[in-house]
Structure 1
Amino acid sequence: MDARHVPVLLAEVLKLLAVAPGERVLDATVGLGGHSGAILEATGGDIELLGLDRDPRALEIAAQGLARWGERVRLAQSRFSRFPEVLAEVGWEGVDAVILDAGISSLQVDDPERGFSFLADGDLDMRMGGVAAGEAPAATLVNKAPFERLRDIIREYGEDPQAGRIARAIVAAREDRPITRTLELAAIVAAAYPAKWRATARQHPATRTFQALRMAVNAELAELEAFLERIPDYLRPGGRVAVIAFHSLEDRLVKWAFRREAAGCVCPRDQMVCVCGHVPRFRILTKKPVTPGPAEVAENPRSRSAKLRAAMRLGPDQAWGEQP
């Protein structure tokens, strides 16, 4: 397994999923195989595991690391929102456990040519699936999007109060020549920040802008929404799903999706009579998100913003889901 890859909240994931021998497991973001490998180890390999990832290079590394489990493991290049199609392709009607790690991988961040890092020079790309993914690279968004769209992306996904200044600086800079390199964009963003902000900032001024552009390029929130909407239909009764989010907007989507599935009536509050017929399908297993402890953050600083939530699929005769 790649030495740079440290699976986040590993012990907590294993405990919450509680995978038993003979079960089918979906790792919707297999990455370099850290969580999958640990689940296989914990069950002595007596499970079937399907791992998905957009990134073909990540799948190559995961395949090497998980090779000793042989036919117990299947890997497929796919967005995690398309998991039902992949399940159908392998002949699975449902699964017993699901793990989704919504964070960007070290493999992507540490390769300058992928364009995710503002600390090393590379093409302004940011596509998780690589060049063959079909999406437009970040350079297209940076150089073609109108000011208003750039501002809104940086404000919403980056939660940056300087979004207007940054977007204005990008638009002004691209009038001279296209912005095609990561360090070029990082310098433009840093210069757009007020001097006092730059002097007191605890992180690089470009951190939030790069995060926002990456999320927009890869449609990350739409991907997560689609996954959360579809996963209850494919979890077997008693099956568990665990999602690790690294952004407040992602965590909010997970929280409300789990709450909605754990609730009874989901009609508007001002409606006197229930007409939705909604039946609780989840029991929430984490009243609050599980976060890394000091030891894990010290060992893996990139884990510091991780938030883990989990839920269990209820059967038709089981008790109601836990109410928020």
Structure 2
Amino acid sequence: MVNEINDNLITKKDGIYVDCTVGEGGHSKAIYKYTEGKSKIIAVDIDYEVLEIAERRLEDLAEKIEFFKAPYQDIDLVLKGLGIDKVDGFLMDLGVSTFQLKGEGRGFTFMNDEPLDMRMDTESALNAAKVVNEYDEKELARIIFEYGEEFKFSRRIAKSIVDRRPINTTFELIEAIKKALPYNEIRRRKKHLATKTFQALRIEVNKEFDNIRTALDKFTEFLNPGGRVAILTFHSLEDKIVKHYYKNQGNYKLVTKKPLYPSEEEVEENPRSRSVKLRVAEYLG
């Protein structure tokens, strides 16, 4: 949704824009091109491996793009460290990157047998193996129910996991989930049977919902009046947080009254974009 982001995020071409989840650099490069190289871009990511990829891909734009390894909820520390008081826009893409899904040993995918990790920040102490093997059954069920939206079978999955501990790999976890689900339920599901549980564990490991709320609060401190925030969400819980936050903020107005969705052509090219929603809000000052 490059065009939709640029059209709604960029208010002036010589502004300062913060890409809080730079990933492999696609959005930062698009902002640079859209602003004809006149803008300054602060590119941040918690994942050092993807940040290195972005730096290599955009090394010819080094004069206009500065890269920092940091979680987006600590964006205030990055900007203060640079001596930047105000910016004109923040962008957050809350999806898991293709690199992370395909990266060996990261444990984000259920397509390969890998150690249970799921950390976006590989220096973090909490990983999926600790959640799976150390959380009690009740807490596991809550996480799978709330974060995975596994409403009917969260307790059964949690019990199956606890009964099969220790679980150290993605395939071992998938087998525990499979044993908890009725055969007809497995056949009925359009997505992989482990999708919801993997989502729940990833959110818990990376404290994603808490971090989103923290970041949204900090953006206000640094936005110029008329500056904007653009956020791409990939599931309903993230979108709900963003929607309610800006709906209840008197110093913002919604640029997008309803979320924007990718075009049919984009979904054909990138099936993972099917669930993406873009919301944009403008700071009134």
TM-score range for the pair, normalised by the shorter chain length: over 0.9
Structure 2 unaligned residues grouped into runs of 5+: none
Higher mean Cα deviation, 153-162 or 63-72?
Answer: 63-72
Q: Which residue of 1 aligns with 2:19?
A: 27
Deviations 1:83-133 (A, max 9, x none): 011000111001101110011101101123100111111110000012xx2
For 1:225 and 1:81, the matched residues in 2 are separated by 8
In the alignment, structure 1 residue 231 sits paired with structure 2 residue 219: yes
Equivalent residue, structure 1, for 2:102: 110
Which residue is 1:182 aligned to? 170
Q: 2:235 aligns with which of 244, 247, 264?
A: 247
Cα displacement string for residues 254-296 of structure 1 (whole angstroms, at most 9, x for unaligned residues) = 01111111xxxxxxxxxxxxxxxxxx31111111111112211
CA–CA distance in 1 between the matches of 2:171 and 2:70? 30
SS at match of 2:49: helix
**Aligned to 1:117, what secondary structure does the other structure show?**
coil
Residues matched between the structures, number: 284
Amino acid at match of 1:42: Y
1:18 aligns with 2:6: no
1:19 CA drift (Å): 4.4
Q: Specify the SS of the correspondent of 1:304.
A: helix
Is the 1:241–1:310 contact (alpha carbons within 8 Å) kept by the matching residues of 2?
Answer: yes
Report the residue type matching 2:136 in the other structure.
Answer: P
1:134 has 2:124 as partner? yes
Taking the aligned partners of 2:13 and 2:128, their CA distance within structure 1 comes to: 43
Could you say which residue in structure 2 is the equivalent of 1:94?
86
Residue 310 (structure 1) aligned with residue 280 (structure 2): yes
How many angstroms does 1:173 deviate by?
0.5
CA–CA separation in structure 2 for the residues paired with 1:53 and 1:90: 16
**Aligned with 1:40 (options 17, 32, 36):** 32
1:162 and 2:146 correspond = no
Counterpart secondary structure, 2:215: helix
Contact 1:135 1:218 survives alignment (8 Å)? no
Pick 1 or 2: higher relative contact order, CA cutoff 8 A, min separation 6. 2
Aligned to 1:293: 263
The one-letter code sitting in structure 2 at the alignment partner of 1:146 is D
Q: Give the TM-score normalised by structure 2.
A: 0.97
Q: Quick one: distance in 1 between partners of 2:15 and 2:162?
A: 53
Structure 1 segments, 4+ long, off by >6 Å, are: none
CA–CA separation in structure 1 for the residues paired with 2:198 and 2:98:
15
Whose Rg is larger?
A: 1
- Counterparts of 2:91 and 2:124 in 1: how far apart (Å)? 26
> Once superposed, what is the RMSD of the aligned Cα atoms?
1.0
The answer to whether 1:259 aligns with 2:247 is yes
Aligned letter for 1:216? E
Q: Provide TM-score, normalisation by structure 1.
A: 0.86
What fraction of aligned residue pairs are identical, expressed as a percent?
Answer: 40
CA distance in structure 1 between the partners assigned to 2:103 and 2:171 by the alignment: 14
CA distance in 2, matches of 1:91, 1:224: 24
Contact 1:97 1:240 in 2 (8 A): yes
Question: Contact 1:229 / 1:257 at 8 angstroms: preserved in 2?
Answer: no
Shift of 1:21: 2.5
CA distance in 2, matches of 1:163, 1:68: 49
SS of the aligned residue for 2:21 comes to coil
Structure 1 unaligned spans of 5+: 1-8, 262-279, 316-324
> How much does 1:143 deviate?
0.4
